[in-house]
Structure 1
Amino acid sequence: MRSYPQTFEQEALWVADQFLGDPSPFLETWAQHLTDPLDVPALERALSALVRRHEVLRSTFTDDDTGAVQHVHPVGAVPFERLPWPGGDLHDTLRRAGQRPLDLTVAPARMTLYDYAPGEYVLLLQIHHVAVDDASLALLDHELSALYTEETGGEPAKLSPPGTTLGAYAVRTREAGIDPDDLAFWAGFLDGAPGLTQLPPRPRSLPDRRDTTCDCVRTTIPADLGQAVRAAARSLRITPNVLMATCMAVTAAAVSGDDVIVCSPVSRRGAPELDGVFGCLTDLLPVRYRVPADATFADVCAAAKRVSLDVLRHRHVPYSMIGRVSRARGLLSGTRLNRIGLVLDETPGTLDLPGVRARRVHVGGSAAKADWLQYVVADGEGWDVRADYATAYFTADEAAAALRQWLTVLTAAAEDPQVSVRTLYDRLAGTA
Structure 2
Amino acid sequence: MNAPDRRAALLGRLAELPMERRVALLRSRRGGTAGREWPLSFGQERLWFLNRLDPADTTYHTPWCVRLRGPVDAEGLAAAFTRVAERHHVLRARFRLAGDRPVQVVAEAGPVAVESAEVTGDPAPAVVEFVNRPFDLEFGPPLRVALLRLADDHFLLCIVLHHLVVDGWSLDVLMRELAECYTAYREGGEPSLEELPMQYMEVAAEDRRRAEQNSEQNRDTSHLDHWTRTLTGVPALDLPTDRPRLARWTGEGAQEGFLVPDEVITRLEEVARRQRCTLFMALLAAYQATLGIASGQRDLCVGVPVAGRNRAEIEPLIGYFATTLVFRADLSGAPTFRELMKRTRLAVFKGLQHAEAPFEQVLGALRLPRDLSRPPLFQAMFNLHNTPKGDLLRTTMADLAVEVYPVPAAGRTKAEISVDAWRGPEGLGGVLDYSSDLFSAATARRLARAFTGVVERVGADPDLRLSDLNHLI
TM-score by length of 1: 0.89
Partner of 1:413: 458
Contact 1:342-1:375 at 8 Å conserved across structures: yes
Q: Considering Cα pairs closer than 8 Å and 6+ residues apart, tell me whether 1 or 2 has the greater RCO.
A: 1
Which one of 262, 268, 280 corresponds to residue 302 of structure 2? 262
Say whether the 8 Å CA contact 1:194–1:332 is kept in structure 2.
no
Query: What is the distance in 1 between the residues matched to 2:372 and 2:79?
Result: 50
Alignment of 1:7-22 (within 5 A): 7-22=41-56
Structure 1 contact 142–350 (Cα < 8 Å) conserved = no
Contact 2:387–2:424 (CA under 8 A) maintained in structure 1:
no
Contact 2:236 2:378 in 1 (8 A): no
- 1:32-431 correspondence to structure 2 within 5 Å: 32-65=66-99, 67-85=101-119, 87-88=121-122, 90=124, 92-105=125-138, 106-153=140-187, 157-177=191-211, 179-198=220-239, 206-207=244-245, 209=247, 210-256=249-295, 257-292=297-332, 294-328=334-368, 336-348=376-388, 349-351=392-394, 352-354=396-398, 355-365=400-410, 367-380=412-425, 382-426=427-471, 428-429=472-473
Question: Matched residues in 2 for 1:278 and 1:127: separation?
Answer: 11
Q: What is the CA distance between 1:332 and its match in structure 2?
A: 8.4
Structure 2 distance, partners of 1:146, 1:225, is 41
Structure 1 residue identity aligned to 2:286? C
Q: Take 1:347 and 1:323, find their aligned partners in 2: how far apart are those partners?
A: 31
Residue 358 of structure 1: CA displacement? Answer: 1.4
Aligned-partner Cα distance in 1 for 2:462–2:189: 49
Deviation at 1:119, TM superposition (A): 3.0
Q: Does 1:25 align with 2:64?
A: no
Please state how far the C-alpha of 1:21 moved relative to its aligned partner.
4.9
Aligned to 2:15: none
Calculate percent identity across the aligned residue pairs.
23
**Structure 1 portions without partners, runs of 5+:** none
Structure 1: distance between partners of 2:65 and 2:260: 21
Give the direction of change, closer, same or farther, for the CA distance of 1:71–1:254 in structure 2 (3 Å limit): same
Is the 8 Å Cα contact of residues 232 and 366 (structure 2) preserved in structure 1? yes
Q: CA deviation at 1:141?
A: 2.5
Superposition deviation, residue 54 in structure 1:
0.8
Amino acid at match of 1:376: A
More displaced stretch, 276-285 vs 21-30: 21-30
1:294 Cα deviation (Å)? 2.6
Distance 1:259 1:111 in 2: 44
Summarize deviations over 1:98-157 as a string: whole Å, max 9, x none.
111111121001111111233322111111000110110121222222222322329964
Relative to structure 1, is the Cα distance of residues 65 and 397 closer, same or farther in structure 2, using a 3 angstrom cutoff? same
Query: Looking at CA atoms only, which structure, 1 or 2, has the larger radius of gyration?
Result: 2
Query: Contact 2:286–2:454 at 8 Å: present in 1 too?
Result: yes
* CA–CA separation in structure 2 for the residues paired with 1:108 and 1:332: 29
Q: 1:73 to 1:36 in 2, by over 3 A?
A: same
1:93 and 1:406 map into 2 onto residues whose CA distance is 33
Distance 1:242 1:365 in 2: 29
> What is the CA distance between 1:259 and its match in structure 2?
1.2
Root mean square deviation, CA, Å: 2.6
Aligned residue pairs total 423
For residues 390-420 of structure 1, the C-alpha deviation after alignment (integer angstroms, 9 at most, x for no partner) is: 1111112222222222122222233343333
Q: TM-score, normalised by structure 2?
A: 0.82
Residues in 1 aligned to 2:202 and 2:440: alpha-carbon distance in whole angstroms: 45
Structure 1 pair 176/58, CA: closer, same or farther in 2 (3 Å)? same
Where 1:425 maps in the other structure, the secondary structure is helix
Q: Following the alignment from structure 1 to structure 2, what is the Cα–Cα distance between the partners of residues 418 and 119?
A: 56
Q: 1:86 to 1:317 in 2, by over 3 A?
A: farther
Q: Single out whichever of 164-173 and 342-351 deviates more from structure 2.
A: 342-351
